[in-house]
Amino acid sequence: MKRPETSLDAFHEGRQKLRVGILVLDNFTLNAFSGFIDALRLAADTGGRSRQIECGWVIMGHGPVRASCGLSITPDAEPMDPGRFDYIAVAGGNDYPQRAQPAWLTRYLQQADAAGVRLVGLCTGTFNIARAGLMEGRTACVHWNVHDEFRSQFPNVRALSDRIFFDAGDRITCAGSTGAPDLALHLIGRHCGPERAQQSLRHMVLSNQRDASFPQAQFAEETRSLRDSVVRRAILIMEQTLDAPISLEDLASRLGISPRHLSRRFTESLGQSPSRYYRFLRVRYGAWRLVHSTERVSEVATEAGFSDASHFLREFKQVYGTTPARYRKALDGARRGAPGGGQGGGGSAPAGGPGSGR
DSSP string, 240-295: HTTTSPPPHHHHHHHHTS-HHHHHHHHHHHHSS-HHHHHHHHHHHHHHHHHHH---
- Residue 130, classed as helix, strand or coil, is helix
Contact status, residue 289 vs residue 295, Cβ threshold 8 Å: yes
- For residues 185 and 228, membership in a common domain is answered with no
Alpha carbon distance 338, 37 (integer Å): 37
At how many degrees (to 10) do helices 229-240 and 259-270 cross? 100
- Residue 235, classed as helix, strand or coil, is helix
- For residues 198 and 225, membership in a common domain is answered with no
The answer to whether residue 65 is domain-embedded is yes
pLDDT of residue 154: 96
pLDDT of residue 241: 84
Contacts (Cβ under 8 Å, ≥6 apart) of 331: 290, 291, 345, 350
The CATH number of residue 266's host domain is 1.10.10.60
Cα angle for residues 344, 280, 258 (degrees, 5° grid)? 140
- For residues 142 and 225, membership in a common domain is answered with no
- For residues 230 and 165, membership in a common domain is answered with no
- For residues 181 and 227, membership in a common domain is answered with no
> What's the domain range around 242?
221-337
| Torsion sign over Cα 26, 153, 166, 132 | negative
Compute how many other C-beta atoms are within 10 angstroms of the C-beta atom of residue 243.
12
The answer to whether residue 351 is domain-embedded is no
- For residues 227 and 192, membership in a common domain is answered with no
10-residue stretch averages of pLDDT, the chain, 358 residues long: 54 81 96 96 92 95 94 96 97 91 97 98 97 96 88 92 91 94 97 95 88 70 72 84 91 94 94 94 90 90 93 95 93 63 39 38
The CATH number of residue 23's host domain is 3.40.50.880
Looking at the structure of the chain, the number of domains it has is: 2
- For residues 182 and 228, membership in a common domain is answered with no
Last residue of a domain, one of 172, 203, 234: 203
pTM for this prediction: 0.68
Nearest to 320 by CA among 299, 290, 275: 290
The answer to whether residue 355 is domain-embedded is no
Alpha carbon distance 304, 270 (integer Å): 22
- For residues 165 and 284, membership in a common domain is answered with no
